[in-house]
C-alpha cells in the first residue's frame, strides 16, 4: 500500500509553532514513528507553503497511490483550487487536522475541502495522521 502525506502552510514549523496547540514534536520525527509502526506501508511525505505545489503533488500521486492524507493547514478554509484538485483525482483523500478546528476560531469551522474528501479526522494531535492511516486499513 502506498500512502502520500501532504502538509500545507506553516506545518514545516511543527514542534516550534504554537506548541500549546500543535505539540512539541517535529513532523519528521513523527513520520519516522509512522514508518516504523507500519512497515508494510510505503509512505511518502511532502510539505509546501505554496498552494499550487500542493495541487501539483495531489495530481502527481492521485492516480497511483492508494490514499492521500492531507493537512492543508489554513488552505483548508479557503482553497477552491485544492477542492477541485481532490475532485480531479482517483485516490481517496482524508482531510486531517492536528487541532480540533471546531473548538477554535469560527473561521476554522468551515472546510472547503471536506466535501471532496472521503473523511475528516481532527483534534487528536499528531495521532490524527495515524488514525487516517488506520482508515485506509479498514476493509
Ligand atoms: C490545522 C488547523 C488549521 O486551521 C490551521 O490553519 C493549521 C493547522 C491543524 O492541523 O490543526 O495550519 O490544519
Per-domain boundaries in the chain: 2-137
> From ligand 1's centre to the CA of 97, what distance in Å?
6
Q: What is the pTM of this model?
A: 0.97
Q: What is the predicted pLDDT for the residue at 40?
A: 97
Other residues' Cβ atoms within 10 Å of the Cβ of residue 75:
21
The C-alpha cell of 88 is what?
480531479
CA dihedral 4, 10, 13, 18 (to 10 degrees): -120
Decide if 90 is catalytic. no
Domain 2-137 in CATH 3.40.50.9100? The answer is yes
User: Rounded to an integer, what distance in angstroms lies between the CA atom of residue 75 and that of residue 35?
Assistant: 26
pLDDT exceeds 80 at position 5: yes
Do residues 94 and 67 lie in contact, with contact meaning Cβ atoms separated by under 8 Å? yes
Mutate-to-test residue for ligand 1 from 22, 25, 108, highest number of ligand atoms within 8 A of CB? 108
**Which of these, 48, 105, 38, lies nearest to 71 by C-alpha position?**
48
How confident is the model over 86-109, as pLDDT tens digits? 999 999 999 999 999 999 999 999
Specify the ligand 1 atom closest to the Cα of 96: 10
Amino acid at each position: 500500500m502506498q500512502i502520500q502525506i501532504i502538509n500545507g502552510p506553516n506545518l514545516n514549523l511543527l514542534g516550534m509553532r504554537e506548541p500549546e496547540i500543535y505539540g512539541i514534536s517535529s513532523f519528521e520525527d513523527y513520520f519516522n514513528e509512522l514508518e516504523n509502526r507500519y512497515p508494510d506501508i510505503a509512505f511518502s511525505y511532502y510539505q509546501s507553503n505554496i498552494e499550487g505545489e500542493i495541487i501539483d503533488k495531489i495530481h502527481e500521486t492521485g492516480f497511483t497511490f492508494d490514499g492521500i492524507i492531507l493537512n492543508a493547514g489554513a488552505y483548508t478554509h479557503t482553497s477552491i483550487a485544492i477542492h477541485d484538485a481532490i475532485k480531479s483525482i482517483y485516490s481517496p483523500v482524508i482531510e486531517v487536522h492536528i487541532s480540533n478546528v471546531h473548538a477554535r476560531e469560527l473561521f476554522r469551522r468551515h472546510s472547503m475541502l471536506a466535501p471532496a474528501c472521503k473523511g475528516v479526522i481532527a483534534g487528536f494531535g499528531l495521532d490524527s495522521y495515524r488514525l487516517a492511516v488506520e482508515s485506509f486499513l479498514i476493509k
